[in-house]
Amino acid sequence: MKAVITKILMRAAVVCVIILPILYFMILHYRSGELRQEIPTIQKSLSLQSHLPPPGPCTCPGGSVLLKDHIPKDQYEKMAKRRAKELQQHKARTTSVLSRLLIALPNSPLQYPIQGFTVRPLTTTPIPGLALHAGQRSSYKVSLNVSKGVLTTENLAEGVKVQASFQFENHEAVFPITIKQPQLPVLHDMGTDINSHVTIATKTFLRYPQLKLLLSSIRRFYSNIEVIIADDSFEPEHITGEHIRQYLMPPAQGWFAGRNLAVSQVTTKYFLWVDDDFLFTENTKIEKLVEVMEAVPELDVLGGTVQGNQFYFSLLYEEGEEMEGGCLYRKSQGKFQSLPGYPRCFLASGVVNFFLARTDAVQRVGFDPKLQRVAHSEFFMDGLGSLLVATCDHVSIDHQPKTGNDKDKAHYARFRNPGNSDVEFKLQLHFFKNHLKCVRYG
């Protein structure tokens, strides 16, 4: 006999099939002719039990900033209510029964698919692997129930009887079934050389001498690679040349808005992010970064060094209690295990502003345009859990020496350096958007 689920959902969803024993027709030893068929309608739905306690309050590391203290007192109550509502909607969109802890009981006679069973909406699909391994007897009672979808059974062999009673002795099993459409692959034609592998992307603002020096250094080593420039200067200067695309923005839109624009126009599998005052050298070997990314396709971001500085950090996050929020610690020079096969590379949570990235992965996370200045860590905070990040020390880029007159420096600094209002805004954003109770930058 085959157990069949007819799907009724047109969008991706996850259902739980609760097997309180599994259908006996798969029994290894049964006597044909001794049983007769009766297929009852199953309507009862059992909910899953999570074996994990609800999250409690998290502990803020020493030196943390308590974000609640940076919310105006006359706004806090209303903001907290809006945040709680948004959190519930977020969980409704993202929480899956696959995240619930299920414990397999010992010595169970039930055989069932533990994971990996996916069905398409509105299709009839047999559940694979259902079986009952029990001692030989004259009759067996088993049951099968689903929390979403329609469960039916096909006609059984003559003389076989099915009677669903939601129990087989004291044995119970639960397993998830995913309902979703199959995804079309989105592949990138890598071509034959580095120019078809990688696009260089940068953001510039009021620093055309530095930008031109960067472009000159790029052309010294990569004469035909595509370069994308997002520019929000007040008086734009047109940058010309082959394989250069300059996108002009309204003035002073900020670093993240420019990053979004630049990355949105990348058509290659990877892009290399550089600041507009960096300088390519003989050690800026993009090919070596591509080699690592191709060898470890799970990677999304791979950083290098800037003037020998291999800055990286780890993000340690506790979810915390719903009303208070989570606790986040950005630990400078914090890292995880080394990358298999590449002893000069290791995993981290965030890297310096010189990195090779998988274009589609970064586009999914995006850069929050609300953040205009000094917001590098925030991208990796938003990507925590979805971006796999590593850093290597065998590929480097240089930094241009500080030049220009004092007037130019002062003009640029007015926009580059965050004021107190920017800092306060960022902390308030972390409180609401990232549902954080506290942040520590170490």
Question: Could you tell me how far CA 140 lies from the centroid of its own chain?
Answer: 46
- Residues 299, 389: Cα–Cα separation, whole Å: 6
- For the CA atoms of 15, 16, 17, 21, the dihedral, rounded to the nearest 10 degrees, stands at 180
**Residue 397 contacts by C-beta under 8 Å, 6 or more apart in sequence?**
274, 278, 279, 280, 281, 283, 284, 304, 305, 306, 307, 354
Output the pLDDT for position 410. Answer: 63
Output the pLDDT for position 105. Answer: 73
Q: Kindly state the average pLDDT of the residues 270-274.
A: 98
Output the pLDDT for position 136. Answer: 85
Q: Kindly state the average pLDDT of the residues 20-24.
A: 32
Is the pLDDT at 341 greater than 50, yes or no? Answer: yes
Under 8 Å between Cβ of 239 and 229: yes
pTM, entire model: 0.80
Under 8 Å between Cβ of 439 and 64: yes
- Residues 171, 203: Cα–Cα separation, whole Å: 61
What Rg, from alpha-carbon coordinates, does the chain have? 29
> Residue 25 gets which letter from DSSP?
G
Q: Phi, psi at residue 244, to the nearest 5°? A: -125, 130
- Residues 114, 107: Cα–Cα separation, whole Å: 16
Under 8 Å between Cβ of 367 and 281: no
The pair of three-digit structure tokens given for residue 341, joined into one six-digit string? 């096969």
Structure-model confidence comparison of residues 142 and 277, the more confident one: 277
pLDDT in tens, 220-244: 999 999 999 999 999 999 999 999 9
197: phi > 0 → left, psi -120 to 50 → alpha, else beta; which? alpha
- pLDDT band, residue 190 (cuts 50/70/90): confident
Is the pLDDT at 388 greater than 80, yes or no? Answer: yes
Output the pLDDT for position 122. Answer: 82
Output the pLDDT for position 174. Answer: 78
Q: Kindly state the average pLDDT of the residues 310-318.
A: 95
The residue among 333, 329, 330, 331 whose CA lies nearest residue 305 is 333
Is the pLDDT at 439 greater than 70, yes or no? Answer: yes
pLDDT > 90 fraction of the chain, expressed in percent and rounded = 56
What are 19's strand-pairing partners?
Answer: 144, 173
- For the CA atoms of 385, 387, 393, 397, the dihedral, rounded to the nearest 10 degrees, stands at -130
Output the pLDDT for position 31. Answer: 30
Q: Kindly state the average pLDDT of the residues 113-118.
A: 82
Tokens 């080699």 found at: 291
Domain ranges of the chain: 1-49+102-183, 194-441
> Which range is least confidently modeled, 70-74, 124-128, 158-162, 170-174?
158-162
- CA distances in angstroms from 338 to 59, 83, 344, 395, 441, listed in the order given: 29, 38, 8, 16, 24
Output the pLDDT for position 297. Answer: 95
- pLDDT band, residue 162 (cuts 50/70/90): very low
Output the pLDDT for position 7. Answer: 31
Output the pLDDT for position 374. Answer: 73
Output the pLDDT for position 104. Answer: 74
Tokens 């003559």 found at: 158
Output the pLDDT for position 414. Answer: 62
> Which range is least confidently modeled, 9-13, 116-120, 388-392?
9-13
Q: Kindly state the average pLDDT of the residues 339-345.
A: 94
Is the pLDDT at 179 greater than 90, yes or no? Answer: no
Output the pLDDT for position 26. Answer: 34
**Residue 161 contacts by C-beta under 8 Å, 6 or more apart in sequence?**
35, 36, 37, 38, 139
The residue among 170, 30, 176, 46 whose CA lies nearest residue 112 is 176
- pLDDT band, residue 108 (cuts 50/70/90): confident
- For the CA atoms of 62, 68, 72, 77, the dihedral, rounded to the nearest 10 degrees, stands at -170
Longest dimension (CA), the chain: 97
- pLDDT band, residue 373 (cuts 50/70/90): confident
For the chain, what is the mean pLDDT? 82
Would you mind telling me the total number of residues written for the chain in this entry?
Answer: 442
The pair of three-digit structure tokens given for residue 385, joined into one six-digit string? 């859990």
- Residues 248, 245: Cα–Cα separation, whole Å: 10
- Hey, what amino acid is at 112? Y
Q: Classify residue 346 by burial, with Cβ atoms within 10 Å: 0-12, 13-18, 19+.
A: middle
- CA distances in angstroms from 224 to 198, 200, 255, 274, 294, listed in the order given: 11, 11, 26, 17, 22
Q: Kindly state the average pLDDT of the residues 52-56.
A: 64
Neighbours of 56 (CB within 10 A): 11
- For the CA atoms of 185, 351, 268, 359, the dihedral, rounded to the nearest 10 degrees, stands at 40
> Residue 7 gets which letter from DSSP?
-
The pair of three-digit structure tokens given for residue 133, joined into one six-digit string? 């391994």
> Residue 104 gets which letter from DSSP?
P
pLDDT in tens, 394-438: 999 999 998 766 555 665 666 666 678 888 999 999 999 999 999
Under 8 Å between Cβ of 270 and 356: yes
Structure-model confidence comparison of residues 107 and 60, the more confident one: 60
DSSP code per residue over 173-202: EEEEEEE-PPPPP------SSHHHHEEEEE
Is the pLDDT at 103 greater than 80, yes or no? Answer: no
Output the pLDDT for position 436. Answer: 97
Superfamily name with CATH number, domain 194-441: Spore Coat Polysaccharide Biosynthesis Protein SpsA; Chain A (3.90.550.10)
